[in-house]
Amino acid sequence: MNLSIVEDSHSLFLNHKFQNVSKNGKMLDFDDTYIPEEIDELGLLKNKIINYLNNGEYERDIEKVVKLAMKHIVTTYKEVNNPAVVLDIDETALSNAQLHLENNFNVTYEKLIEWRYSQKAVAIKPVLELYKICKSMGIKVFFVTGRKKVDKDITISNLKKEGFDNFDGIFFRDPELSVGESKVKARKEIVGMGYTIIANIGDQLSDLLGGYSLKGFKLPNPLYYVSFNKK
């Protein structure tokens, strides 16, 4: 078997050693064989995500971001008028990880709605702790979500069930705008009410882009991506 060695100026190839490769009943040993870098196949990626969710690393990564946010909040809230914090809901305040695991990361719209009505989403503990500290400090907390207003009752019920009670307002998605635009509009309204959003916390860049907050903090989300322009 003849193998050509390919050299790439952008280092897209790795030096690998293959052993015990069988061809025509003979065991072959190849040294200095170059193969391209490849993304993991889907099964391996899913296993990596499952391990990340279950081995404590995911929650530790969340805790790191929440600690940074809390440090910023504590050092900032007395320096502004009417301080407020904005939280996203899904994968920020409430976790839907179990839904994705149960459906092998293939969640249909029907499954999502069924899940929301079941109110099985659980509090993300570091964020719940931040929420309670903010409330105890007199800081207003608003939820800004990509969920639709039709989900208002079940969303509020799930939040309260998981300990997010006595929040100061909740803004649902404007059906005329993209997810990102809707969230910018909501933050603009909060600022227009006289508040200073000292921290905006979410799991998507679309939660954070567009201004109207002093600082944004992005939590990890290995489950899905939401574009700023998603309708």
Ordered per-residue pLDDT tens for the chain, 231 residues: 333 333 333 333 333 434 444 445 454 455 667 777 788 888 999 999 999 999 999 999 999 999 999 999 999 999 999 999 999 999 999 999 999 999 999 999 999 999 999 999 999 999 999 999 999 999 999 999 999 999 999 999 999 999 999 999 999 999 999 999 999 999 999 999 999 999 999 999 999 999 999 999 999 999 999 999 988
How far apart, in whole angstroms, are the C-alpha atoms of residue 109 and residue 194?
37
State the Cα–Cα distance between residues 153 and 147, nearest whole angstrom: 11
Give this prediction's pTM: 0.83
So what's the pLDDT on residue 142? 98
In this prediction, residue 62 carries a pLDDT of 98
pLDDT at 165: 95
* Domains along the sequence of the chain with CATH: 1-38 (no CATH), 42-218 (3.40.50.1000)
The shares of helix, strand and coil residues in the chain, as percent rounded to the nearest 5, are: 40, 20, 35
**Cβ(189)–Cβ(171) under 8 Å?**
yes
Strand ranges across the sheet with 140-144:
169-171, 140-144, 83-87, 196-202, 216-218
Per-residue model confidence (pLDDT) at position 150: 95
